[in-house]
Structure 1
Amino acid sequence: MPIGRRERAKQDKRERIMTAARELFAEHGVDRVTTQQVARRADVAIGTLYLYASTKAELLIMVQNEKFAAAVDSGLAAANAAVGQGALEPVIALIRPVVECVREHIENGRTYLCELVFGDPAEPYRQAGLALAGRLEDGITGLLSRNEYIDAADAATLARVITAIIHISTTATVCLHRSDEAVLADIRDQIHATLAPHIRAA
């Protein structure tokens, strides 16, 4: 059904706020952006902005959730194309766009992941971000479950370990100045070492 004028106006304001936040975070990093700057660029009152996101952290989560969702979609498609290449390659295909997404602007990516882990899980934007993280974990579980040497229970546990590896490797200070390829290579080595005992034992 066609939406009303008021709803269209709300959607327009939300899109302007999202666009302004996305641009400013990309240009300056989350630490050097204020909600007032976002409101000015979006051409809305600061009170209006707070109707859509009550904090700068929520603005960042809104923006990063869109990017994270696209990265997970891309990774799942790549993983399906790599099925049949052993246990490791489909998982790497899945996580590659996720790692690249988080590291696109490292400060923003680190802050985003920390907000998801340590922020209020009942906050709606965080709930959406955590659901995306769950979708990534479920995708890894599904890939590992296809391997004849890994049972379903182990696949779920291993997926949690792998997501922890991704989180640490993309946010740790020691990794900040490494290239994406170097970080992905390190993650590959860690996942290989994690999966190898299960495959050998079988």
Structure 2
Amino acid sequence: MSLASKSVGRRERNKQEKLDRITAAARELFSVHGVDEVTTQQIADKADIGTGTLFLYAKTKGELLLLVQNSSYVDALERGRAAAGTTPDVLDAVMAIVRPVVECNRTQIDNGRTYLREMLFGDPEEPHHRDALALSAETEEAIVAILQRDKNVTEAEATAQAHIISAIMFVSMAATVNIGSTVEDLLQGIRSQAEVLLDPKKSAAGR
């Protein structure tokens, strides 16, 4: 390996190590105090870096929150896919995807709602925001794959239904009226609406 290659490799490792420290520091402070009560200086101090270095990785607290939540979202989506893979019923499998995402978002309610707001109104060209949108798209793709277990459902139909379920989940987590709702309350509401969408006859018969 050339000296140049070693230098690049070391530089990349240093960048990743700093990013890991920033993510861990922001996650801990946001979890304990909430995003609104934490300053970027506190995060930089806890990560043992300068604020100038911090801003190379994220320019605002909103971007830092996206960084933190995206990391948790990746793990949640992985758990959901694994659970859905062993769940034969379509609606149950969809909810297996939804559950860990909702649980992840509601770990700290204000942070979760702020994350959704950043996703909706943030700069789509900002890397952490772009990652958040990509994760949302991956979630819908996972739901599409489940819905297409039913051979009577076309890809276009599954894509539209998955988009609606994603919107239901998003609104349920973000709505002010649901601030006091538990994870189980939210999941029940999402499931009821998804059932009407996926199997209206069965839903009507259950009423």
Partners in 2 of 1:67 and 1:198 — Cα distance?
37
Letter in 1 for 2:184: E
TM-score, scaled to structure 1: 0.92
- CA drift at 1:199: 8.3
Which residue is 1:153 aligned to?
156
Give 1:74's match in structure 2, choosing from 42, 67, 79.
Answer: 79
Specify whether residues 4 and 88 from structure 1 end up closer, same or farther in structure 2 by C-alpha distance, changes over 3 A only.
Answer: closer
TM-score, scaled to structure 2: 0.90
Partners in 1 of 2:151 and 2:12 — Cα distance?
51
Q: 2:175 aligned with 1:172, yes or no?
A: yes
- CA drift at 1:148: 3.0
Which residue is 1:114 aligned to?
117
Which residue is 1:41 aligned to?
46
Q: Deviations over 1:127-176 (max 9, x none)?
A: 11111110000011111111134222111000000000000111111111
Give 1:129's match in structure 2, choosing from 132, 152, 155.
Answer: 132
Q: 2:192 aligned with 1:189, yes or no?
A: yes
Which residue is 1:58 aligned to?
63
Which residue is 2:32 aligned to?
27
- CA drift at 1:197: 3.6
**RMSD between aligned residues:** 1.8
Q: Deviations over 1:63-87 (max 9, x none)?
A: 100100111111011111103x2x3
Q: Deviations over 1:6-58 (max 9, x none)?
A: 33332222221111101000001111111111011111111111111111111
Contact 1:20 1:41 in 2 (8 A): yes
Unaligned runs of 5+ in 2: none
Specify whether residues 11 and 197 from structure 1 end up closer, same or farther in structure 2 by C-alpha distance, changes over 3 A only.
Answer: same
Which residue is 2:91 aligned to?
88
Q: Count residues with an aligned counterpart.
A: 198
Specify whether residues 62 and 37 from structure 1 end up closer, same or farther in structure 2 by C-alpha distance, changes over 3 A only.
Answer: same
- CA drift at 1:194: 1.2
Unaligned runs of 5+ in 1: none
